[in-house]
Amino acid sequence: MPGFWQDPIGFIANLLHSLLIGWGLPAAVVDVILSVLGAGALAMGAMLFVIFLIWYERKLLGRIQDRLGPNRVGPFGIFQSFADMFKIFTKETITPQGADVIPYNLAPILAVAAVLLVWAVIPFGVNIMGANLSVGVLFVLAAGGFGELAIMLAGWGSNNKYALMGGFRAVAMLVSYEVPMVLALLVPVLLANSLNLNDIVRAQTVPFLFTAPVAAIVFFITQVAESGRAPFDVVEAESEIVAGFNVEYSGLKFGMFYVAEFLHAFTVSMLFATLFLSGWRGPGAEQIPLLGVLYLMIKTFLVYFIIILFRGSLPRFRIDQMLNLNWKVLTPLALVAFFMTALFDKSLAQLGVVGNDLGAQVIRTLVLLVVNGIILWLGERWLSQATRPVRRDVRLTKPAVVDRYPGAK
Amino acid sequence: MSPFQIIFLIVAGLTLASAGMVVTARRMMHAALWLVLTLLGVAVLFATLEASFFTAVQVVVYIGAIAILIIFAVMLTRLNLQEDEPGVNRFAWLAGLVSLLIFAGLVAVLSLWTGFNTVRPTFAGEDIIALGKAMVSANGYAIPFEVASVLLIGALIGAIYVAGEPRKPASKPESK
Amino acid sequence: MIPLSWYLIFAALLFCVGLFGVMARRNAVAVLMSIELMLNAVNVNLLAFWRYLYPDVQAQIFVVIVLAAAAAEAVIGLALIISVYRRRKTVFADDLTLLKG
């Protein structure tokens, strides 16, 4: 039996296993029960964590906006999220007349489920993982697809043309932003030679942020867009389209969408930390996996902090500006970064600079850093005109003379 | 009945029931949602076949893209009058008969095949790296891969052209 | 525990349900959805054979090509349906009778 510090999940699993077998249950049922318990514990942990996240974001946004943030309910306002939770639980859920019952009720569940699914494949420590899938990165993409479906269902099921239009816009934006996201996601996969997230973390003796900065930037921007955060707020712009696709939701169903949005931002930060900031790696994380969890949380909060800074300081993009940015800047950047990384990484492997030791990795990092710098410089020169504001030509013209009485003299 | 068989029967039954709802639902939006459930069921069946790559690809491509495209098309071609009319045409009974006959014929011919009841062999595991290498190596399947990408680009450009906005002829500006 | 026959019968059944949809449905988008059902049945069949009889990379390539072809065909089919709807304001396959002799 492994010790607790070396393998916490294995230790607890063995304990429960022997306990349940001692109660007389057959082994197959015990396995199923343990899996369900594990999944439930992870999901509960994520949902309970959101309470802290909401408080953190509101305090930070308040400070950015030169105010205090919630500070009445408990010291420093830490019980504010609980107060909000009680309010949302006890609000009346009003179902609009003519709403399609099944899509309307399914949408918030799918939205939260799509985000929680990603937590199953993220490695929290050396052997603390939900499911060690060999296609972890593809699984993350699949979960993103479910989120889009949820928004579609919400927009349709509300029987409200603003919700429908909001849903259309949201899904159009989300599907467009998947293209550079997938390309940027492929770069760490290329550098680590595996789709498994734990392998990608293990391959980062030098964090991939330095080896593939262009891919990191593109991935970060597209993931902020995919979770519908500012400045890509069009999905639920409070001042434009009322609340977009969730205008007809109240009470706990709206609470689910709210939770899904915050959790999505945090999950995005965790993904970025795993893929580009070397995840759970740090001094001593291999021997004591719980230290790995600590390191991952520190890195995740760093990225989450930056995302909140984005929200507090940048104005919202228009939908055509967003699509311009996506197709004319991010996609070419991601494509070129992918090609160049593949070219130089495999050439270096041919020259013999291969292996997981620090020396080879540093050489690879320096070469790819130079390449990425060139890509960024060229990108700034050639692609920046796509995001320049287009001025309409409003020269002063004399109004056309309309002959009201043709034929009169 | 082992648990695996029970799971297979439940998933297969759910998928077939959703497929039945796809072909008989009156309102198109419901048919599209049942299609999403069917595609999900097929993805789960891929997982029971230990093809993890295709499970993920099925969800990403079919549900994440094609199903959303179909939902968009349903919403863009909606006429309120059509929701009350039956979804199948006059010859539905004939179509049902033909499908039933074809199914019976398929099962009859297949059951005569000796390999029909083979048991699941042990399996080294799915090798994604071999799949990737086969797709791009010159004496592998690089040509079908490239042809498929040309097909997709052709479909992309064709769809943009066919379904794009009708172009108005440019009018000459008045000037005096 | 699960013989190959179960997967083959399931795929045949899914294929025939799709076939019924193609022949009997009035709405053209519903016909396209039924075509997707048929293509999925083909994929299930291919992967069942791959798992049970030929664990080679050939079958997987076949499935990838079928998937790509299905995506391309759904895109073009839906673009055509939307274009026809714009001009003729109908989406029922029975009403498109311009070429009828």
pLDDT tens for A281-324 read 888 877 888 888 899 999 999 999 999 999 888 888 888 888 88
Structure tokens at B103: 């199914």
Distinct helix (H) and strand (E) counts, chain C: 3, 0
Q: How far is the C-alpha of C20 from the C-alpha of B87, rounded, in Å?
A: 12
The DSSP string of A252-274 is HHHHHHHHHHHHHHHHHHHHHHH
| Amino acid in position A243 | A
Q: How far is the C-alpha of B135 from the C-alpha of B132, rounded, in Å?
A: 5
Q: How far is the C-alpha of A186 from the C-alpha of A367, rounded, in Å?
A: 19
Is residue C98 within a helix (H) or strand (E), and if so which, with residue range? none
Q: How far is the C-alpha of B63 from the C-alpha of B41, rounded, in Å?
A: 11
- If phi > 0 it is left, if psi is from -120 to 50 it is alpha, else beta; for residue A249 that is beta
| Amino acid in position C3 | P
> What's the maximum distance between 2 C-alpha atoms anywhere in chain B?
88
Q: How far is the C-alpha of A64 from the C-alpha of A57, rounded, in Å?
A: 10
In chain C, whose CA is at the least distance from the CA of B90?
C24
Q: Which residue reads 């009974």 in tokens?
A: B93
| Amino acid in position A29 | V
Give the neighbours of chain B: at least 3 Cβ pairs within 8 Å.
A, C
pLDDT digits (tens, 9 = 90+) for B47-69: 999 888 999 999 999 998 899 99
- Does A135 touch chain B if contact means CB atoms closer than 8 Å? yes
CA angle A32, A36, A38 (to 5 degrees): 115
> Do the interacting molecules here have an ipTM over 0.90?
yes
- Averages of pLDDT over each 10 residues, chain A, 409 residues: 72 83 80 87 89 90 88 83 87 82 88 92 86 88 89 84 80 89 92 90 89 93 87 67 71 87 92 91 82 91 93 84 88 92 88 76 85 87 76 69 71
A231 preceded by a cis bond (ω within 30 of 0): yes
In chain B, whose CA is at the least distance from the CA of A152?
B68
Cβ–Cβ < 8 Å for A4, A11: yes
Question: Using a CB-CB distance cutoff of 8 angstroms, which residues of chain B are in contact with residue C50?
Answer: 49, 51
Q: Which of B25, B42, B115, B95 is nearest to C10 (CA)?
A: B42
Is residue A335 within a helix (H) or strand (E), and if so which, with residue range? helix A331-351
- Does B71 touch chain A if contact means CB atoms closer than 8 Å? yes
CB contact under 8 A, C92 and B115: no
The residues, ordered by sequence, that sit 6+ positions from A405 with a Cβ below 8 Å of its Cβ are none
pLDDT at B173 over 70: no
Q: What is the mean pLDDT of residues B85-91?
A: 80
Phi, psi at A257, each rounded to 5°: -65, -40
- Does B157 touch chain C if contact means CB atoms closer than 8 Å? no
pLDDT at site B176: 41
Question: Using a CB-CB distance cutoff of 8 angstroms, which residues of chain A are in contact with residue B64?
Answer: 141-142, 144-146, 148-149, 178
Alpha-carbon separation of residue B37 from A166, A397, B33, B42 (angstroms): 24, 59, 7, 9
pLDDT at B132 over 80: yes
Structure tokens at B47: 């997982």
Q: How far is the C-alpha of B57 from the C-alpha of C71, rounded, in Å?
A: 12
pLDDT at site B174: 44
Nearest to C52 among B107, B121, B152 (CB): B121
Question: Using a CB-CB distance cutoff of 8 angstroms, which residues of chain B are in contact with residue A400?
Answer: 174-176
CB contact under 8 A, B56 and A142: yes
CB atoms within 10 A of CB A358: 10
